Amino acid sequence: MSTEPEYNIQVDVETAYIPEQSSPEENRYVFAYTVTIRNVGDVPAKLLTRHWIITDAEGRVQEVRGEGVVGEQPHLKPGEGFRYTSGTVLETPVGSMHGSYHMVADDGVEFDAPIPPFTLSVPHTLH
């Protein structure tokens, strides 16, 4: 009995507000986010591209697409993880991000790994 291969990339995100780089009087709020990508499936896979949708509190949306993450296209064997930190700038003290990573497995199957929505917020602005 053959079992179907499982393609499963888990994405976890931690965020931080960077007050030293922010300038609230100029509507500039800088956030860092640290992403941990883990291959919890059973087929090695490589991250090809990223697609982010960034929304601020005024409903303004920025879409970011590009190759890899932080200049790399990590190849993850089952059980392996890759962690990186990047950042974004919002015009409001609160916003959200979500998106996906486009992956290709070693057997040639391409799939998207969803990045669940997460909130960016200056401390003490959300109650």
- Tokens 């916003």 label which residue? 95
Angstrom distances, CA of residue 87 to CA of 31, 34, 84, 104: 5, 8, 10, 25
User: What digits encode the pLDDT tens for the residues 88-109?
Assistant: 999 999 999 999 999 999 999 9
- Amino acid, res. 55: T
Q: What percent of the chain has pLDDT over 90?
A: 93
More confident residue, 125 or 56: 56
Per-residue confidence (pLDDT) for residue 12, from 0 to 100: 97
- Say whether pLDDT at 60 is over 90: yes
Mean pLDDT of the region 56-75: 97
**Domains of the chain, CATH where assigned:** 9-118 (2.60.40.1470)
**30, 17 in Cβ contact below 8 A?**
yes
User: What digits encode the pLDDT tens for the residues 31-44?
Assistant: 999 999 999 999 99
CA dist 50 and 99 (Å) reads 8
Per-residue confidence (pLDDT) for residue 127, from 0 to 100: 54
Max distance between CA atoms of the chain, in angstroms, equals 64
Six-digit token string for 61: 């949306």
**51, 63 in Cβ contact below 8 A?**
yes
Quote the mean pLDDT of the chain.
95
**33, 98 in Cβ contact below 8 A?**
no
Angstrom distances, CA of residue 102 to CA of 3, 18, 121: 24, 29, 27
| Whole-prediction pTM | 0.91
Per-residue confidence (pLDDT) for residue 3, from 0 to 100: 80
DSSP of 79-107: T-EEEEEEEEEESSSEEEEEEEEEEEETT
